[in-house]
Amino acid sequence: MANGHRTQIKRDRNAQKDTRPSAKLSFARIPVQKACFVMDAIRGKDVATAEGILTYNNRHASAVILKLLKSAVANAENNNGMNAANLYIAECYATEGPTMKRIQPRAQGRAYRILKRMSHLTIVLDEKKAE
Report the predicted TM-score, pTM, of the whole model to 2 decimal places: 0.84
Q: Give residue-wise pLDDT tens across range 18-31.
A: 788 999 999 999 99
Q: Give residue-wise pLDDT tens across range 70-111.
A: 999 999 999 988 998 999 999 999 999 999 999 999 999 999
Asked whether 39 and 65 are in contact (CB, 8 A), the reply is yes
DSSP 85: G
DSSP 36-65: HHHHHHHTT-BHHHHHHHHHT--SHHHHHH
Query: Residue 70: CB partners within 8 Å, gap ≥ 6?
Result: 51
Domains of the chain: 22-127 (3.90.470.10)
Q: Give residue-wise pLDDT tens across range 45-79.
A: 999 999 999 999 999 999 999 999 999 999 999 99
